[in-house]
Amino acid sequence: MRIICVNNYDEMSEKAANILASQIILKPESVVGLATGSTPIGMYDHMVRAYESGKISFQRVTTFNLDEYFNLDKNNPQSYYFYMKKNLYDKVDIPNENINIPNGMVEDIERECIRYEKEIRNKGGIDIQVLGIGRNGHIGFNEPDIKFEALTHMVNLDEQTIRDNSRFFSSIEEVPTKAISMGIKTIMRAKKIVLLASGKEKAESIYEAIYGKITPTLPASVLQLHPDVVFVLDKDAAWKLDSKELDKEYL
Ligand code: F6R
């Protein structure tokens, strides 16, 4: 595990974009796992700039998003499909057929979850997976639980997640209570993982993820077992960590 700690949100975004861009430069046909939420927006912005300046192309990249709300039309501005189009896909040269996001509108959710897993496998697995982290330690929508859910599955969102995500909706009643998410095994099979976190409200879950017991009650703690994971943190998200272990760039 490496922990890169930078000054602020923009430096975190740039650092994460550089890691992703390097992956795409080294392997133009990379399979990239992506996250939504407020944390990676700046990273996507830097990726778009890298594309516009000719540094990277998404022509041969395949993407798999971590999750999608259940029963929210993809044209709804709060859907993760809409988010991805707005922040990345409509702004770069990725072919539509290379974009994969779970479909939360299908009748047979179980079948959709199996299809998603198969697609990932058919593409040879995920080369690099981007993650955010919930204040409750969730990754993807793997909420605190008594067991790790292995593969892509339907999730009942945690009350805290519903409250946290209500900031994107006009009222809390509009926040979907279910989602489809990659499972912990799906995430852990990625060859590399980059987790981004910014802000003091993430400091506790970051601390627990890195130093805490490995437990499904704090799903991100499982990342301690991944052979190639990097946490890119701003100093607010990192403030509880032991400074000796950080690759600090703000001193
Ligand atoms: C989003 C996702 C979630 C978020 C997490 C943090 O695809 O899987 O795990 O990464 O909820 O969200 P923000 O970045 O909004 O704090």
pTM (two decimals)? 0.96
Q: At what angle do helices 9-26 and 41-52 cross, to 10 degrees?
A: 50
Domains and CATH numbers, the chain: 2-248 (3.40.50.1360)
Residue 247 has pLDDT above 90, yes or no: no
Token pair of 233 as six digits = 């943190």
Q: Please identify which of the residues 46, 138, 153, 226 carries the catalytic annotation.
A: 138
48, 52, 125: which is closest to 89 by C-alpha? 48
Q: Please identify which of the residues 11, 67, 149, 208 carries the catalytic annotation.
A: 67
67 Cβ below 6 A of ligand 1: yes
Q: Considering the chain, what percentage of its residues have pLDDT values greater than 70?
A: 99
Q: Which atom of ligand 1 is nearest to the CA of 65?
A: 7
For 201, other C-beta atoms within 10 Å of its C-beta total 12
For residue 14, how far is the Cα from the chain centroid? 16
CA pseudo-torsion sign 153, 158, 160, 166: positive
Task: Report CA(165)–ligand 1 centroid distance (Å).
Answer: 9
| Rounded Cα distance, 148 and 182, in Å | 11
| Rounded Cα distance, 127 and 137, in Å | 23
Give the type of residue at 22: S
Q: Considering the chain, what percentage of its residues have pLDDT values greater than 90?
A: 96
CA pseudo-torsion sign 60, 66, 71, 72: negative
pLDDT-derived band at 198, boundaries 50, 70, 90: very high
> Which of 25-29, 62-66, 247-251 shows the lowest mean pLDDT across its residues?
247-251
